[in-house]
Amino acid sequence: MKMSVSLLLGVVLCCCAACGNNVNANKSTTAGSSHQSEIIGSFNADSAYAYVARQVAFGPRVPGSQGHKACRDWLVSTLEGFNPDTLIVQEAEVVAFNGDRLPISNIFAGFNMAAPKRVLLAAHWDTRPWADKESTAENRAKPIPGANDGGSGTGVLLEIARNLAMKAPEVGVDILLVDAEDYGQSDGFSDNTDTWCLGTQYWVSHMTPYTLRNRPAYGILLDMVGAAGAQFHYELFSQAEARVPTIKVWSEADRLGFSDIFVREKGAPVIDDHIFLTRAGIPTTDIIESQHQQTGSFHPCWHTLDDDMSHIDRRTLDAVGKTVLNVVYKERNQ
């Protein structure tokens, strides 16, 4: 994923004029309510951490690599163990901006498929093939470990799936692990939006297994949600185009006492999988660290060889996992 430069002004104006007040207005209704909300389910941060570490142990998960194939097989096997109603592995070949042909696997697990209302939880599981934020040319040609960028969101969703297997939600909850998110073009003067999120772009073109009638009411995307000291501000595309899930997530985090992690202030616009899910009719909010105090954008380990387990923190995983799990368990079919 990357920051959008050319779209920044338009999105900021849209957020300020159209919905910034709507999202922030809810702040006053929940102020002082931290620690008031019951934690639903049994989200275990140690388990989520172990899921992240297991992915990293496969090595970089670049489409077409041995690590990618091994991790794919493990992800499918792990989700199978949680007995979802539906498990679909969507395999395809996509073409990257540089002409590389990438074998991809989007992995979908549906829980409570008979429910009339559905919520989609998504993360990408692939890793960047080039550490393009490294200082030397030699290192920039190497793939990143992807503990935070790829591993963290997927690890949290696996732990959420484990909970869904133990305690069924009232609504349908779908977990989508998308591929080839991080093979995009980061240089040049264009935002290169369509060169990113290739797995999601393929998935929305088929929308397996949805029809117009059973499409999710909204989605929540988890990306780079594991770093120590992470803070998640409102991502601006989410604030503009996915107000309902944005309010749900940040309000629930506040009620659970995670307001120091889920900061109720405007963040940056980010090109990420949520853009394409929202375009396809599933308004999706993006939980992502985009206002790091040191960089002003992503975590310092972003797209570097330092994106390893040393930066993953159980408290961050815990805050994200418990918040998202509470949101879906509180949903009702009415």
- Segment 133-181, tens digit of pLDDT: 999 999 999 999 999 999 999 999 999 999 999 999 999 999 999 999 9
- Band (pLDDT 50/70/90 cuts) for residue 294 is confident
Which residues are paired to 218 by β-bridges?
A: 119
- Segment 41-97, tens digit of pLDDT: 999 999 999 999 999 999 999 999 999 999 999 999 999 999 999 999 999 999 999
- Answer yes or no: is pLDDT of 20 > 60: no
Alpha carbons 37 and 262: distance in angstroms, whole number: 15
* Most trustworthy range by pLDDT among 21-25, 37-41, 113-117, 297-301: 113-117
- Segment 183-235, tens digit of pLDDT: 999 875 567 899 999 999 999 999 989 988 889 999 999 999 999 999 999 99
pLDDT for the residue numbered 25 = 37
Residues of the chain with pLDDT > 70, as a percent, come to: 88
- Answer yes or no: is pLDDT of 27 > 80: no
Who contacts 226 (Cβ-Cβ below 8 Å, separation ≥6)?
52, 147, 148, 151, 152, 153, 155, 156, 311, 312, 313, 316, 317, 320
137 against 296, higher pLDDT? 137
Who contacts 238 (Cβ-Cβ below 8 Å, separation ≥6)?
245, 246, 274, 284, 285, 286
> Do the Cβ atoms of 69 and 179 come closer than 8 Å?
no
What is the layout of strands, in order, in the sheet containing 284-287?
A: 86-95, 101-111, 172-178, 118-124, 218-222, 284-287
Instruction: Please tell me whether the overall predicted TM-score, pTM, comes out greater than 0.75 for this model.
Output: yes
